[in-house]
Structure formats: structure tokens, C-alpha cells
Structure 1
Amino acid sequence: MDPKSTRIGWIGTGVMGRSMCGHLMDAGYRATVFNRTVGKTDDLVARGATLAGSPREVAEQSDVVFTIVGFPSDVRSVIIDGDDCVLAGCRSGITIVDMTTSQPSLAEEIAEQAAKLGVISIDAPVSGGDTGAKNAALSIMIGGDTSAVESVRPLFDLMGKTVVHQGGPGRGQHTKMVNQTLIASGMIAVCEGLLYAHKAGLDIPTVLQSVSSGAAGSWSLSNLAPRMVDGDFDPGFFVEHFIKDMGIALDEAARMHLSLPGLALAHQFYQAVAAQGHSKDGTQSLLLALAKMNNINWS
């Protein structure tokens, strides 16, 4: 993974992908980029990235291709379906790294199809949102062949602080489902705590100072609660993507005959958030839906 000889491809230059690809470029890697909305590649192109016209073109010009897109259907379209997909442009020895939060079964399918072409496939979803992406502080959860994962680890280390190999294909995605299940119910608690503090007439920043360093502390409380207090509901992670993730986790749980009522409740709450017009806002906009239920005007 020498920057002088390893060519990087990057598909998906949105809220997180732009920063993640930027860290690799900062380390000296040459990048070829693609995004359906071409304007979202402008920053990277201005820094020296080559703009490709399709996922296939990215693969044709790369040794390692990273993807981080929206939904499993996007992953399928970009990597394995059609004449312009990544696999159509791959030669033997290329590595594909999908960092989208997607279905474990799809990760396994991609790995199987890639192997037929002599191509390596790794699933590596991330956690940490836009802040983690900007600060190269993501948690990266990896599924794939051990030797393949270790060969790409220098690139992961440029994007994340916690880089853990979880096992074979699909295991990274399963681990991300655990992550999303933990976050889902925790976000309800954060929002309800803030509403309680508001209703009780407390000074919320002072309350956060007290509770965030104790047993109630969490990443969401430390990073998203201050945004809510400031009325900042811009996306570090989109509501519509979180709904997608919870749906995948619930589907996997059903397949394993596992009941997760807390996750199901959070999923329903977030459906209400989307119905109120916040699907493109950040996950912290759950506060707005719960405030509306309580006839509280949050400002």
C-alpha cells in the first residue's frame, strides 16, 4: 500500500466519503472518484483527484476501490449490477472495500462474485458520523479474508482510530448492526433527557456538564446533545439512512428468531421523524418529533 504505486478509487463523496477519501489523498495516494451528483466531487477534484464517469471507470483506474453509498440497492447497483459496475471494470488482484452500512447477506454475495474474478472483497462499515470522518477518528468494523484485510489496514488506519477485523465476509456488517441497535435506543434516552431538563426549567448546558461525565455518558450525549441545544439538526448521519440500518437489523433479528422490542420502538419513532419532513436531517432531529408529541416548541 505504497502511495507511490497504489491507486485509490472512491465511489460516494457525500457527508462522510469526501473526508475519508481526503485523508488518503493527504497521505499521498492518487485517487479516482465518482459520485452520482458530480458537484459533490468538486473539492476532491480541485485537490488533484481524477473524475470518472462510472463505477466501472473507477475500477479500471484503481488498485483498491472504496465505496460508501446510501442503501443496499445502491451498493448492488454500484458494485455488481450492469455493464458500468465496479466488478465489470475489475482485473484479478483488485480489492473492493464497501464501507456502506448494508446487508450482511449482500456483503457475502459480493465476496462470492468477486472471488470468481480473482477480486478481493471486504465489508468495512464505519461509525463516528461526519465528525469522526473529518477527524480520521472512525470506528471501522471489518469483514473479509484475514490476509486481505491486513494488506489494506494501512489505508484504514488513515481514516479511523478503532480498526477491528471481525471475521469473514459479512461479519463487519453484522457488527455494525450491533452498533446501530445500541445507538437507536440510546438516542431516545438522550432526547427524552433533554426534554425533561427543558420542562423542569434547568439550564441544559449545565446539566450536560454534570451528566455527560458520569454513568450516563455516551458518544451521542457528548456529540449530538450540544447540537440539539444549539438547534443544529444538520446531518452528520441522515435519518433516512438510520431508518434503513434499523430495518436491516430488524430483518436480521427476525431471521435469527430474535426479538428486539427496543430497536423496533426506535424504528417507529424515526419513521415519525421522517413523516414530519426530517428524513434528510441528522439523527438528532428525533428531538423535534418527541418535542412535538409533548407540545414543546424547541428552539
Structure 2
Amino acid sequence: MLSANTTTIGFIGTGVMGKSMAKNLLNAGYSIRIFTRTKSKADDLLNIGAKWDKDIPTLAKQCDVIITMVGYPSDVEEVYLGEQGLIKNCNKGSYLIDMTTSKPSLAEEIFSVSEKHGLHVLDAPVSGGDIGAESGTLAIMTGGERSVYDYVLPIFQVLGENISYQGPAGTGQHTKMSNQIAIASNMIGVCESLLYAKKAGLDPKKVLATISTGAAASFSLSKLGARMLENDFNPGFYVKHFIKDMRIALESSQAFGLDTPGLKLAIDLYEQLSDMGEQDSGTQALIKALAYRSEMTL
């Protein structure tokens, strides 16, 4: 039975969200081992008890469970399927959890290859941004075998609150695509709403406080809308990563024969924002692109 006292967790990917997730696991009593290409990037975690490994094979041999939270599908592919990757270097019976937002088809491939090596794999992307990662309130969407999900559930309960099992391998990623499609159009609405309030001569903060409690309520409105009004564009979730997610969602939608005009518009607007040099800003920076189109100053 999985417990913090006897389980060593490897963590690969300690960026904006991964660092907080690893910290929460440390605080819950788990032994944590970290792999980063640059050791200094793990200093905050090493200072509170995490151990650092020089490469993936070294980490893989010492861990019962390994969580990955990397950037792009190409990174996921390298970490899992490469010669120096997890599948070829983990101990048989290890549990591997990819919490990156990635391609559903890649999740299915990793599951299939891992099964042949005697490994247990879940695709478990998350939603909630830096706020959810810090507070341990992420939404976790999981695909894979139900028995594996049940076994690692205590780990998920440290990281999140809305934790769900969606079905076979790849369904966690498909659920995340549904999530990103909903956010894509919503973010446009949040930006247009606040810019409208400003144009109408209203107090945007007062408007936000009012409409955040009505039918328009959403995380994007109440949390990211507030950051927009403070001109806080630090990344809780990078623009470049959201563009990546939306492109995966569009590719998957097209494979289904599904037309998603709202998603297409959001991709176009976010790519314009990226061209403005905002690729490393938080997704709330979209208001800059829409303000520019209307010749408004923030």
C-alpha cells in the first residue's frame, strides 16, 4: 500500500507549477528526488529536503513513483521513450504519472510501450495554474487503468481537490483538451468585458467584483481578470504553453471532424500576442492584444 513513509517519488519538471507540486509532496512527508538539467533551478526544493539526480536513469532506479511535468509533447516523448528515458531505465513495477498537458495519442503510445516493460502509467494533466499548484487545489484529470489510479490516489490528494478518473489511457488528456477549449473562448470574453467597462467609464474593479458573482463567474474572470486590472502579467501559465495546448486541442478536434471556431479565434489572438513578445507572460496578457486592436491603453 502506498504511503508517504515508504514511497520515494521522482519529479521531473520543476517549473512554475511543478515546483509547488513537488514542495507539497515534500511537506506531506514523501521522499522526493529531482532531475533538472541545471541543478541550481532545483535549489529551492533541495534546500527543504529534496535530493537531486544528475540524469533520468539515476533518478529512475531510485524511485517507486515518478511524476513528470514538462513543457511540450516532444519533451514528454524524450523523457519517456528516449534511450535515456524512463521506460528503458525504470525498475519493473514502477508507477509513472505524466501530468504534462500533451497529445492524447502520445499518452496512448506511452501506455502501450510501458505495459510491455511491466510499468504502470497514467496520463493526469491538471488545471488550476500556479494558484492551484501552490494551494494543492488542482483539478486532476486521469486516464489509464483504474487500479493504478486507485493506488496513487493518495498522491493526487496532496496535489489537488477535484480529482477524477476518466477512463483508459489518453482520456485524461482528452479531458484537459475540453478544459482548454472552454478556457480559450472564456479568456477572450474576460478581456472584452473589462475593456468594455473601461470604455464605458466604469470602475473596472467594481464591475469585476459584481459580475464575478453572477452567471459570468469563472476562474478566468475572478482570478485572471483581477491580475489584468493590476497589470500583473507574470505567468501562472505561460502564453507559449497555452498556444501549445490549443493547437493540440485543434488537431484533436479536426481528427474528430469537429469545427471549433471559438478555439481557432483564440489561437489567432494568442499568436498575435506571442508576436508582440509576450510568449513568456501569463495567459492574462491577452488583454494587451485586444487593447492594442482597439487602440486602448491599459
Q: Which residue of 2 aligns with 1:268?
A: 268
Matches within 5 A, 1:139-218: 139-218=139-218
- Tell me the secondary structure at the aligned position of residue 158 of structure 1: helix
Deviation, structure 1 residue 92: 1.1
Contact 1:68 1:100 in 2 (8 A): yes
Contact 1:99 1:124 in 2 (8 A): yes
Matches within 5 A, 1:1-299: 1-82=2-83, 84-298=84-298
Contact 1:8 1:62 in 2 (8 A): yes
Contact 1:58 1:86 in 2 (8 A): no
- Tell me the secondary structure at the aligned position of residue 163 of structure 2: strand
Residue-by-residue CA offset, 1:257-284 (whole Å, 9 max, x unaligned): 1110110110100000100000000000
Counterpart-to-counterpart distance in 2, 1:19 and 1:208: 28
- Tell me the secondary structure at the aligned position of residue 96 of structure 2: strand
Residue-by-residue CA offset, 1:233-267 (whole Å, 9 max, x unaligned): 00000000000000000000111111101101101
Residue-by-residue CA offset, 1:201-238 (whole Å, 9 max, x unaligned): 11111111111100111110010011110000000000
Give the alignment's Cα RMSD to 1 decimal. Answer: 0.8
Contact 1:55 1:79 in 2 (8 A): no
Counterpart-to-counterpart distance in 1, 2:276 and 2:244: 17
Counterpart-to-counterpart distance in 1, 2:190 and 2:253: 25
Residue-by-residue CA offset, 1:56-102 (whole Å, 9 max, x unaligned): 222111000000000000001111112x2112221211000000000
Deviation, structure 1 residue 181: 0.1
Residue-by-residue CA offset, 1:136-165 (whole Å, 9 max, x unaligned): 000000001000000000000000010000
Q: TM-score, length-normalised on structure 2?
A: 0.98
Over the matched positions of the two proteins, sequence identity in percent amounts to: 48
Q: Which amino acid aligns with 2:195?
A: L
Change in Cα spacing, 1:239 to 1:37, as seen in structure 2 (3 Å) is farther
Deviation, structure 1 residue 27: 1.0
Q: TM-score, length-normalised on structure 1?
A: 0.98
Deviation, structure 1 residue 37: 3.5
- Tell me the secondary structure at the aligned position of residue 142 of structure 1: strand
Q: Which amino acid aligns with 1:176?
A: K
- Tell me the secondary structure at the aligned position of residue 130 of structure 1: helix
Counterpart-to-counterpart distance in 2, 1:60 and 1:276: 44
Counterpart-to-counterpart distance in 1, 2:261 and 2:282: 23
Counterpart-to-counterpart distance in 2, 1:241 and 1:197: 29
Contact 1:103 1:248 in 2 (8 A): yes
Q: Which amino acid aligns with 2:56?
A: P
Counterpart-to-counterpart distance in 1, 2:173 and 2:39: 28
The number of residue pairs the alignment matches comes to: 297
Counterpart-to-counterpart distance in 1, 2:214 and 2:267: 27
Bigger mean CA offset, 289-298 vs 181-190? 289-298
